[in-house]
Amino acid sequence: MAEATSKFTPRIFSGIQPSGGLTLGNYLGALKRFVEKQNEGIETIYCLVDLHAITVWQDPEKLRAQTREAAAGFIAAGIDPKRSILFNQSQVPGHAQLAWIFNCVARMGWMGRMTQWKDKTAGKNAEAESLGLFAYPSLMAADILLYHATHVPVGEDQKQHLELTRDIAMKFNHDYKVDFFPVTEPVIEGAATRVMSLRDGSKKMSKSDPSDASRINLTDDADTIAQKFRKARTDPEPLPEALDGLKERPEAKNLVNIYAALADMTAEAVIAEFGGKGFGTFKPALADLAVARLAPIAEEMKRLMADPAEIDRILGDGAERADAIAAPILQRTFDIVGMIRSRG
């Protein structure tokens, strides 16, 4: 473990926005790995970040439904709400409270340099975006540091936000002359840290892409999954005999990485098996594998969503357990900053 986090007990935190349905990108880049971390026996805290979701407009009823659906997705994928803490962010007030303190630690320039902020405002009038969207990374730092989390598994697109989290922790520690917040380690591992669109190998697979064919949704049934892989955009060449041959072939590379991640293999091993074979062979194999891995998750999600009260109960229980960890850390933060806390 890295020096800066060594005095802290290993603890994992990560989050997903319930701003749409979960995709294969969320699954391979995050959720599947959340389950692996849970099963390694490390303390794991997973959060549906509804406060982040509303940095862009969300219909209230849809947000509620998507939060429940995401919770069902976590459980169906293997998160055990007894072993992991699973909750929605807004039920633990410390996230917003610590975010405010971090808003006063972080600098405007740091936020303005975030590529996600730049991407989300590209070609638009940034002045018309919400203040919350600009401050988004500061709330993300609060999510993580509220629990003194030491490790954060994420996909590659979150790397810069995690660097900012480290900067905020270091600036806080420096300004207040304390060694209070850990300098968190990002954990970006596996064959599919950046799953690309099935229609365009230069674009990230995303829940907000207008084309449903560009992504696999965790709720897609077996036929839909198979059909989307069969129709995925590729080039006409067979798969190369060595990994190097995928360099200039983003669509082919993406499908190989997806196969590798779903099968728990390396991309090298996939190429060793399929090198020289055409997509007429590879796509059906990938579709079968994806259906075998994903269709049972969709089925289980459906079953879980039939009982929303039980999902709400699980989220409430998770929030209570999260709050119990967060409260003393928040209390100490207020002390460090110089706030009077005398309500008993």
- Interface residues with ligand TYM (CB under 6 A) are 13-17, 25-26, 29-30, 49, 52, 140, 143-144, 152, 154-155, 157-158, 161, 193-195, 204-205
- Among 62, 171, 207, 302, the active-site one is 207
Is residue 177 flagged as an active site residue?
no
> In 187-211, which positions are buried (b, 16+ CB within 10 angstroms) versus exposed (e)?
bbebbbbebbbbbbbeebbbbebee
The dihedral sign for the CA sequence 300, 302, 306, 311: positive
Task: To the nearest 10°, report the CA torsion of 210, 215, 221, 226.
Answer: 120
Compute the residue count for the chain.
344
Closest distance of CB 287 from ligand TYM, Å: 19
Taking the least distance from each CB to ligand TYM, the nearer of 140 and 239 is 140
Least distance (Å) from ligand TYM to the CB of residue 58? 13
Between strands 11-16 and 43-48, the pairing is parallel
For residue 341, count CB atoms less than 10 angstroms from its CB and return exposed for 0-12, middle for 13-18, buried for 19 or more: exposed
Q: Percentage helix, strand, coil, to 5, in the chain?
A: 60, 10, 35
Q: Quote the least distance from Cβ 12 to ligand TYM, whole Å.
A: 10
* Nearer Cβ to ligand TYM (81/137): 137
Nearer residue to ligand TYM within complex by CB, 116 or 275? 116
Provide the residue type at 68 as one letter. R
> Minimum Å distance from CB 25 to ligand TYM?
3
Q: How crowded is residue 90: how many other Cβ atoms within 10 Å of its Cβ?
A: 17
Q: What backbone phi and psi angles, to 5 degrees, belong to 18?
A: -85, 50
Among the listed residues 62, 120, 171, 302, the single catalytic one is 120
Smallest separation, CB 204 to ligand TYM (Å):
4
Q: Which is nearer to ligand TYM, 62 or 194 (CB)?
A: 194
Q: Give min distance, CB of 212 to ligand TYM, in A.
A: 15
Give the active site residue among 37, 204, 228, 253. 204
3-state secondary structure of 186: strand
Lookup: tokens for 226: 């198979």
CB 237 within 8 A of CB 279: no
CB atoms within 10 A of CB 158: 22
171 tagged catalytic: no
CB of 119 to ligand TYM, least distance (A): 12
Q: In degrees rounded to 5, what are phi and psi of residue 98?
A: -70, -35
Q: Which is nearer to ligand TYM, 177 or 259 (CB)?
A: 259
Write out the H or E segment, with its range, that includes residue 43: strand 43-48
**Residues 81 and 317 sit within 8 Å (Cβ to Cβ):** yes
Catalytic status, residue 37: no
Give the three-class secondary structure for 49: coil
Start-to-end C-alpha separation, the chain: 38
Encoded tokens for 341: 């806390």
- Please give the positions annotated as active site: 120, 204, 207
